[in-house]
Amino acid sequence: MKYRQIGDLQVSALGLGCMGMTGVYGASADKGEMIKLIHDAHDRGVTFFDTAEAYGPFANEALLGEALQPIRDKVVIATKFGFDIDLETGARAGGTNSRPEHVKAVADAALRRLRTDRIDLFYQHRVDPEVPIEDVAGAVMDLIGEGKVNHFGLSEAGVQTIRRAHAVQPVTAVQSEYSLFWRGPEAELLPALEELGIGFVPFSPLGAGFLTGKIDENTTFAKEDFRNLVPRFSLEARKANMALVGVVKGVADRKGATPAQVALAWLLAQTPWMVPIPGTTRLHRLEENLGGIDLALTAEDLAEIDAGASRIEVQGERLPEAVLKMTGH
Protein backbone atom coordinates (compact mmCIF):
# COMPACT_ATOMS: atom_id res chain seq x y z
CA MET A 1 0.00 0.00 0.00
CA LYS A 2 1.12 3.55 -0.72
CA TYR A 3 0.35 6.30 1.76
CA ARG A 4 -0.48 9.98 1.41
CA GLN A 5 -0.73 13.06 3.60
CA ILE A 6 -3.97 15.00 3.93
CA GLY A 7 -3.05 17.90 6.14
CA ASP A 8 -1.05 16.23 8.90
CA LEU A 9 -2.93 12.92 8.67
CA GLN A 10 -1.20 9.98 6.97
CA VAL A 11 -3.62 7.56 5.32
CA SER A 12 -3.69 4.91 2.61
CA ALA A 13 -3.69 6.33 -0.94
CA LEU A 14 -7.30 5.15 -1.31
CA GLY A 15 -9.80 5.14 1.50
CA LEU A 16 -13.04 3.18 1.70
CA GLY A 17 -16.34 5.02 1.50
CA CYS A 18 -18.79 2.96 3.57
CA MET A 19 -22.07 4.78 2.80
CA GLY A 20 -23.41 2.17 0.38
CA MET A 21 -23.08 -0.65 2.90
CA THR A 22 -26.27 0.44 4.67
CA GLY A 23 -28.46 1.41 1.74
CA VAL A 24 -28.46 4.41 -0.66
CA TYR A 25 -27.74 2.21 -3.72
CA GLY A 26 -30.50 -0.23 -2.77
CA ALA A 27 -31.20 -2.42 0.24
CA SER A 28 -28.60 -2.64 3.00
CA ALA A 29 -25.97 -5.32 2.49
CA ASP A 30 -25.54 -8.21 4.92
CA LYS A 31 -23.93 -6.91 8.10
CA GLY A 32 -21.58 -9.85 8.58
CA GLU A 33 -20.41 -9.65 4.98
CA MET A 34 -19.72 -5.93 5.31
CA ILE A 35 -17.72 -6.41 8.51
CA LYS A 36 -15.66 -9.00 6.65
CA LEU A 37 -15.20 -6.62 3.70
CA ILE A 38 -13.97 -3.85 6.02
CA HIS A 39 -11.47 -6.31 7.52
CA ASP A 40 -10.47 -7.42 4.01
CA ALA A 41 -9.83 -3.79 3.10
CA HIS A 42 -7.61 -3.30 6.12
CA ASP A 43 -5.77 -6.56 5.37
CA ARG A 44 -4.95 -5.07 1.95
CA GLY A 45 -3.56 -1.89 3.49
CA VAL A 46 -6.57 0.45 3.64
CA THR A 47 -6.36 2.62 6.75
CA PHE A 48 -8.92 5.37 5.98
CA PHE A 49 -12.64 4.68 6.48
CA ASP A 50 -15.44 7.18 5.81
CA THR A 51 -18.91 7.23 7.37
CA ALA A 52 -21.51 9.74 8.66
CA GLU A 53 -24.35 9.92 11.17
CA ALA A 54 -26.71 10.57 8.23
CA TYR A 55 -25.98 7.21 6.60
CA GLY A 56 -28.83 5.15 7.95
CA PRO A 57 -29.15 7.36 9.96
CA PHE A 58 -26.73 5.90 12.50
CA ALA A 59 -26.57 2.37 11.03
CA ASN A 60 -23.37 3.02 9.09
CA GLU A 61 -21.45 4.38 12.06
CA ALA A 62 -22.60 1.42 14.16
CA LEU A 63 -21.44 -1.02 11.48
CA LEU A 64 -18.05 0.65 11.16
CA GLY A 65 -17.63 0.84 14.92
CA GLU A 66 -18.23 -2.88 15.32
CA ALA A 67 -15.95 -3.76 12.40
CA LEU A 68 -13.04 -1.52 13.40
CA GLN A 69 -13.10 -1.98 17.18
CA PRO A 70 -10.48 -4.80 17.11
CA ILE A 71 -8.09 -2.69 14.97
CA ARG A 72 -9.07 0.78 16.16
CA ASP A 73 -5.54 2.06 16.70
CA LYS A 74 -4.45 1.01 13.19
CA VAL A 75 -7.05 3.03 11.27
CA VAL A 76 -8.29 6.56 10.65
CA ILE A 77 -12.06 7.06 11.03
CA ALA A 78 -13.83 9.99 9.42
CA THR A 79 -17.45 10.80 10.22
CA LYS A 80 -19.73 13.80 9.78
CA PHE A 81 -22.23 16.07 11.49
CA GLY A 82 -24.52 18.79 10.24
CA PHE A 83 -27.96 17.49 9.37
CA ASP A 84 -31.02 18.01 11.55
CA ILE A 85 -31.44 14.46 12.81
CA ASP A 86 -33.04 13.55 16.14
CA LEU A 87 -30.29 11.95 18.19
CA GLU A 88 -32.68 9.61 19.96
CA THR A 89 -34.92 8.38 17.17
CA GLY A 90 -32.93 9.08 14.01
CA ALA A 91 -35.89 10.99 12.59
CA ARG A 92 -34.90 13.61 10.03
CA ALA A 93 -36.37 17.06 10.51
CA GLY A 94 -35.02 18.06 7.11
CA GLY A 95 -32.32 20.60 6.45
CA THR A 96 -29.12 21.31 8.33
CA ASN A 97 -28.22 21.83 11.98
CA SER A 98 -24.72 22.92 12.96
CA ARG A 99 -25.59 24.80 16.13
CA PRO A 100 -22.60 24.31 18.45
CA GLU A 101 -24.57 22.45 21.12
CA HIS A 102 -25.92 20.06 18.47
CA VAL A 103 -22.46 19.49 16.97
CA LYS A 104 -21.15 18.49 20.40
CA ALA A 105 -24.09 16.18 21.06
CA VAL A 106 -23.59 14.53 17.66
CA ALA A 107 -19.92 13.95 18.51
CA ASP A 108 -20.81 12.20 21.76
CA ALA A 109 -23.38 10.01 20.03
CA ALA A 110 -20.95 9.15 17.21
CA LEU A 111 -18.26 8.16 19.71
CA ARG A 112 -20.67 5.66 21.28
CA ARG A 113 -21.68 4.15 17.94
CA LEU A 114 -18.09 4.03 16.69
CA ARG A 115 -16.97 2.36 19.95
CA THR A 116 -14.05 4.74 20.29
CA ASP A 117 -12.78 7.58 22.44
CA ARG A 118 -11.92 9.92 19.56
CA ILE A 119 -13.02 10.80 16.03
CA ASP A 120 -9.96 11.14 13.80
CA LEU A 121 -11.60 13.46 11.26
CA PHE A 122 -14.92 15.22 11.94
CA TYR A 123 -16.47 16.86 8.87
CA GLN A 124 -19.32 19.33 8.69
CA HIS A 125 -21.44 17.37 6.18
CA ARG A 126 -23.09 20.41 4.62
CA VAL A 127 -22.69 24.11 5.38
CA ASP A 128 -25.49 25.44 7.59
CA PRO A 129 -26.66 28.85 6.30
CA GLU A 130 -28.17 29.64 9.72
CA VAL A 131 -24.97 29.21 11.73
CA PRO A 132 -21.80 31.26 11.14
CA ILE A 133 -18.98 28.94 10.10
CA GLU A 134 -16.81 30.55 12.78
CA ASP A 135 -19.20 29.18 15.43
CA VAL A 136 -19.02 25.72 13.87
CA ALA A 137 -15.22 25.82 13.78
CA GLY A 138 -15.22 26.97 17.40
CA ALA A 139 -17.39 24.03 18.45
CA VAL A 140 -15.03 21.58 16.76
CA MET A 141 -12.06 23.39 18.33
CA ASP A 142 -13.67 22.76 21.73
CA LEU A 143 -14.08 19.06 20.87
CA ILE A 144 -10.43 18.89 19.83
CA GLY A 145 -9.47 20.53 23.13
CA GLU A 146 -11.44 17.84 24.97
CA GLY A 147 -9.68 15.07 23.04
CA LYS A 148 -12.92 13.84 21.42
CA VAL A 149 -11.90 14.92 17.92
CA ASN A 150 -8.44 15.02 16.33
CA HIS A 151 -9.02 16.88 13.05
CA PHE A 152 -11.63 19.22 11.51
CA GLY A 153 -13.03 18.77 8.01
CA LEU A 154 -15.60 20.37 5.72
CA SER A 155 -17.70 18.75 3.01
CA GLU A 156 -19.05 20.51 -0.10
CA ALA A 157 -18.03 23.92 1.25
CA GLY A 158 -17.19 26.95 -0.87
CA VAL A 159 -13.76 28.58 -0.84
CA GLN A 160 -14.70 31.60 1.29
CA THR A 161 -16.38 29.38 3.88
CA ILE A 162 -13.25 27.23 4.03
CA ARG A 163 -11.03 30.29 4.53
CA ARG A 164 -13.22 31.62 7.35
CA ALA A 165 -13.33 28.25 9.12
CA HIS A 166 -9.59 27.69 8.68
CA ALA A 167 -8.86 31.03 10.35
CA VAL A 168 -10.59 29.80 13.55
CA GLN A 169 -9.64 26.10 13.59
CA PRO A 170 -7.24 24.73 10.96
CA VAL A 171 -9.08 22.54 8.46
CA THR A 172 -7.30 19.24 7.76
CA ALA A 173 -9.38 18.05 4.81
CA VAL A 174 -12.20 19.06 2.50
CA GLN A 175 -14.45 16.40 0.98
CA SER A 176 -16.33 17.11 -2.24
CA GLU A 177 -17.40 15.23 -5.32
CA TYR A 178 -14.65 15.05 -7.92
CA SER A 179 -13.99 12.74 -10.86
CA LEU A 180 -13.81 12.84 -14.64
CA PHE A 181 -17.61 12.85 -14.36
CA TRP A 182 -17.62 16.07 -12.26
CA ARG A 183 -14.64 18.42 -12.45
CA GLY A 184 -16.13 21.44 -10.67
CA PRO A 185 -13.43 21.62 -7.93
CA GLU A 186 -10.69 22.38 -10.46
CA ALA A 187 -11.67 26.02 -10.97
CA GLU A 188 -11.41 27.46 -7.45
CA LEU A 189 -11.39 24.76 -4.78
CA LEU A 190 -8.20 22.85 -5.58
CA PRO A 191 -6.02 25.98 -5.94
CA ALA A 192 -7.32 27.29 -2.59
CA LEU A 193 -6.68 24.00 -0.81
CA GLU A 194 -3.13 23.89 -2.16
CA GLU A 195 -2.52 27.44 -0.95
CA LEU A 196 -3.85 26.64 2.53
CA GLY A 197 -2.21 23.23 2.88
CA ILE A 198 -5.54 21.41 3.23
CA GLY A 199 -5.97 17.84 1.97
CA PHE A 200 -8.70 16.85 -0.48
CA VAL A 201 -10.93 13.77 -0.26
CA PRO A 202 -12.96 13.19 -3.45
CA PHE A 203 -16.19 11.27 -2.96
CA SER A 204 -17.91 9.53 -5.89
CA PRO A 205 -14.49 9.24 -7.59
CA LEU A 206 -16.04 6.75 -10.02
CA GLY A 207 -19.07 8.94 -10.74
CA ALA A 208 -21.39 6.80 -8.55
CA GLY A 209 -20.29 3.80 -10.60
CA PHE A 210 -20.68 5.32 -14.05
CA LEU A 211 -16.94 5.43 -14.81
CA THR A 212 -16.59 1.68 -14.19
CA GLY A 213 -18.13 1.08 -17.62
CA LYS A 214 -20.67 -1.28 -16.04
CA ILE A 215 -23.60 1.14 -16.40
CA ASP A 216 -25.28 2.12 -19.68
CA GLU A 217 -28.69 3.23 -20.95
CA ASN A 218 -30.02 -0.31 -20.47
CA THR A 219 -29.12 -0.50 -16.77
CA THR A 220 -32.03 -0.74 -14.31
CA PHE A 221 -31.37 0.44 -10.75
CA ALA A 222 -33.04 -0.98 -7.65
CA LYS A 223 -36.09 1.06 -6.67
CA GLU A 224 -34.35 2.34 -3.49
CA ASP A 225 -31.23 3.42 -5.44
CA PHE A 226 -30.70 7.17 -5.15
CA ARG A 227 -29.41 7.30 -8.74
CA ASN A 228 -33.04 7.05 -9.87
CA LEU A 229 -33.37 10.66 -8.65
CA VAL A 230 -30.13 12.00 -10.15
CA PRO A 231 -30.53 13.91 -13.45
CA ARG A 232 -27.10 12.70 -14.63
CA PHE A 233 -28.42 9.12 -14.49
CA SER A 234 -31.56 9.72 -16.54
CA LEU A 235 -31.86 7.49 -19.59
CA GLU A 236 -31.03 10.30 -22.02
CA ALA A 237 -28.08 11.53 -19.96
CA ARG A 238 -26.61 8.05 -19.58
CA LYS A 239 -26.81 7.52 -23.33
CA ALA A 240 -24.97 10.79 -24.01
CA ASN A 241 -22.43 10.38 -21.22
CA MET A 242 -21.23 6.98 -22.44
CA ALA A 243 -18.82 8.96 -24.64
CA LEU A 244 -16.82 9.83 -21.50
CA VAL A 245 -16.60 6.16 -20.53
CA GLY A 246 -15.29 5.53 -24.03
CA VAL A 247 -12.37 7.89 -23.42
CA VAL A 248 -11.42 6.12 -20.19
CA LYS A 249 -11.93 2.67 -21.71
CA GLY A 250 -9.60 3.49 -24.60
CA VAL A 251 -6.73 4.14 -22.19
CA ALA A 252 -7.71 1.16 -20.00
CA ASP A 253 -7.61 -1.26 -22.93
CA ARG A 254 -4.15 -0.05 -23.93
CA LYS A 255 -2.82 -0.30 -20.37
CA GLY A 256 -4.34 -3.71 -19.63
CA ALA A 257 -6.44 -2.11 -16.88
CA THR A 258 -10.12 -1.50 -16.18
CA PRO A 259 -11.94 1.83 -16.66
CA ALA A 260 -12.34 2.13 -12.86
CA GLN A 261 -8.60 1.76 -12.36
CA VAL A 262 -7.85 4.42 -14.97
CA ALA A 263 -10.40 6.81 -13.45
CA LEU A 264 -8.84 6.40 -9.99
CA ALA A 265 -5.27 6.60 -11.29
CA TRP A 266 -6.22 9.82 -13.09
CA LEU A 267 -7.41 11.31 -9.80
CA LEU A 268 -4.31 10.19 -7.91
CA ALA A 269 -2.14 11.80 -10.61
CA GLN A 270 -3.76 15.23 -10.11
CA THR A 271 -2.05 16.03 -6.81
CA PRO A 272 -0.26 14.11 -4.02
CA TRP A 273 -2.54 15.51 -1.30
CA MET A 274 -5.69 13.92 -2.70
CA VAL A 275 -7.18 10.67 -1.29
CA PRO A 276 -10.27 9.33 -3.11
CA ILE A 277 -12.76 7.19 -1.18
CA PRO A 278 -14.48 4.81 -3.61
CA GLY A 279 -17.18 2.70 -2.01
CA THR A 280 -18.15 -0.88 -2.70
CA THR A 281 -19.88 -3.86 -1.11
CA ARG A 282 -17.93 -6.48 -3.09
CA LEU A 283 -14.42 -7.81 -2.53
CA HIS A 284 -13.58 -8.10 -6.24
CA ARG A 285 -14.49 -4.42 -6.74
CA LEU A 286 -12.38 -3.44 -3.73
CA GLU A 287 -9.41 -5.29 -5.21
CA GLU A 288 -10.04 -3.76 -8.63
CA ASN A 289 -10.13 -0.26 -7.13
CA LEU A 290 -6.92 -0.82 -5.16
CA GLY A 291 -5.26 -1.81 -8.43
CA GLY A 292 -5.65 1.81 -9.53
CA ILE A 293 -3.03 2.87 -6.96
CA ASP A 294 -0.22 1.13 -8.83
CA LEU A 295 -1.42 2.02 -12.32
CA ALA A 296 1.08 4.55 -13.67
CA LEU A 297 -0.41 6.94 -16.19
CA THR A 298 2.16 8.69 -18.36
CA ALA A 299 2.00 12.35 -19.34
CA GLU A 300 0.73 11.16 -22.72
CA ASP A 301 -2.01 9.07 -21.10
CA LEU A 302 -3.13 12.03 -18.98
CA ALA A 303 -3.09 14.36 -21.99
CA GLU A 304 -5.18 11.87 -23.98
CA ILE A 305 -7.76 11.64 -21.19
CA ASP A 306 -7.94 15.41 -20.75
CA ALA A 307 -8.21 16.04 -24.49
CA GLY A 308 -10.93 13.43 -24.90
CA ALA A 309 -12.88 14.58 -21.84
CA SER A 310 -12.68 18.24 -22.86
CA ARG A 311 -14.60 17.46 -26.05
CA ILE A 312 -17.51 15.98 -24.11
CA GLU A 313 -20.12 18.03 -22.27
CA VAL A 314 -21.46 15.76 -19.54
CA GLN A 315 -25.25 15.84 -19.52
CA GLY A 316 -27.43 16.25 -16.42
CA GLU A 317 -26.92 17.77 -12.97
CA ARG A 318 -24.74 15.73 -10.62
CA LEU A 319 -27.32 15.72 -7.80
CA PRO A 320 -31.07 16.30 -7.41
CA GLU A 321 -32.01 19.99 -7.24
CA ALA A 322 -32.92 19.93 -3.52
CA VAL A 323 -29.51 18.47 -2.63
CA LEU A 324 -27.66 20.90 -4.89
CA LYS A 325 -29.26 23.81 -3.05
CA MET A 326 -27.79 22.45 0.19
CA THR A 327 -24.27 22.26 -1.27
CA GLY A 328 -24.20 25.77 -2.67
CA HIS A 329 -22.67 24.34 -5.87
Residues known to be catalytic: 55
Sign, Cα dihedral of 254, 255, 259, 265: negative
The DSSP H or E segment spanning 9 is strand 9-12
Q: Report the DSSP beta bridge partners of residue 92.
A: 85
Q: Rg of the Cα trace of the chain?
A: 19
User: What's the CA gap between 122 and 79, in Å, rounded?
Assistant: 5
Q: Which SS3 state, helix, strand or coil, does residue 281 take?
A: coil
User: What's the CA gap between 137 and 108, in Å, rounded?
Assistant: 17
User: What's the CA gap between 119 and 117, in Å, rounded?
Assistant: 7
The amino acid sitting at 2 is K
User: What's the CA gap between 238 and 243, in Å, rounded?
Assistant: 9
Q: Report the DSSP beta bridge partners of residue 83.
A: 96
